[in-house]
Amino acid sequence: MSRFLKVLTVAAGVSLVAGAAGAGKLGLGTEATPEEIAGWNIDVRPDGQGLPEGRGTVAEGEVVFAEQCAVCHGDFAEGAGRWPVLAGGWDTLKSQHPVKTIGSYWPYLSTVYDYIYRSMPFGNAQSLTPDQTYAIVAYLLYMNDVVTDDEFELSNENFTSIRMPNEDGFIEDDRPDTPLVSEVEPCMTDCKDEVKITKRARILDVTPDEDGDTAGISVD
């Protein structure tokens, strides 16, 4: 082996170690072109980053919504059957049965645009144009009384001026929040005098069996 090759081999060895430690580039992957990025880069943030140019009115949104969305979400975004309710539910968040909609719960309008554009209609995602998406979002704002003018037009230019009613309804994760978080040894013996059964799944009886479904408290 020539001295040159030996040097190369040692260098390669060093490079390998660096790679395994995550300290150096391995030369893998190819540079993404602007066109490639544009095709997949569809996310929209609360500050408007990612919004494409476009516009749509409440009236235009009503037409698109009737054609593309109402079969599941209802003509007025009130939900059909078991499909999600998109409007209403104001002042229910403290109740026993909260109705969490775009108007009552969602903090940011950007999420409405982002989600509709990326994954709706259910079963035909990424089929809407930016203008159709702006129009649907405008219609949903109207159905939720966030805008009250049925001539309202939403665009990339006025988008971030819209504030959602529950923007301040969220707090950061503040767990741990239960009293058992401690260094104190939990009780091991004679911890209770009496134990009573307070709730039974058998009474509710919603566990599936071969006969199919039954009603119960839903998670989603």
Partner 1 sequence: MSKSDRPEKGIASPSRRNLLKAGLAAGGLAATAGFARAAEPDPYNLPPNVADWSRYLGVGVDNAPYGMPSEHESEVVRRSVEWLTASRESSINFTPLHDLDGIITPNGLCFERHHGGVAEMNPTDYRLMINGLVDKPLIFTLEDLKRFPRENRIYFLECAANSGMEWRGAQLNGCQFTHGMVHCVMYTGVPLKYILEEAGLKTNAKWIMPEGGDAAGMNRSVPIEKALDDCMVAFKMNGEALRPEQGYPARLVVPGWEGNMWVKWLRRIEVGDQPWHAREETSKYTDLLANGKARRFTWVMDTKSVITNPSPQAPITHGKGQTVLTGLAWSGNGRITRVDVTLDGGKNWHQARIDGPSLPKALHRFYFEFDWDGSDLLLQSRAYDETGYVQPTKDELRAVRGENSIYHNNGIQTWHVMADGGVENVEIS
Helix (H, G, I), strand (E, B) or coil at 114: helix
Token output for 89: 């539910």
* Spatial separation of the C-alpha atoms in residues 101 and 162, rounded to whole Å: 17
Pairing of strands 55-57, 153-155: antiparallel
For partner 1, the closer of residues 161 and 182 by Cβ is 182
Interface with partner 1: number of residues (CB under 8 A): 93
* Spatial separation of the C-alpha atoms in residues 203 and 65, rounded to whole Å: 42
Token output for 64: 């698109």
What's at 162, amino acid-wise? I
For partner 1, the closer of residues 105 and 152 by Cβ is 105
Report 109-148 residues binding partner 1 (CB under 8 A).
Answer: 110-111, 114-115, 118-119, 122-123, 125-126
Report, in Å, the least distance between residue 59 CB and partner 1.
26
Does 52 contact partner 1 by CB under 8 A?
no
CB 78 within 8 Å of CB 68: no
Report 59-88 residues binding partner 1 (CB under 8 A).
Answer: 81-84
Q: Which of 13, 66, 75, 98 binds partner 1 (CB under 8 A)?
A: 98
Does 46 contact partner 1 by CB under 8 A?
yes
Give the x/- contact pattern for partner 1 in 160-199, rule: CB under 8 A. Answer: ---------xxxxxxxxxxxxxxx--xxxxxxxxxxxxxx
Token output for 23: 């300290």
Other beta carbons within 10 Å of 95? 9
Report, in Å, the least distance between residue 140 CB and partner 1.
13
Does 32 contact partner 1 by CB under 8 A?
yes
Does 214 contact partner 1 by CB under 8 A?
yes
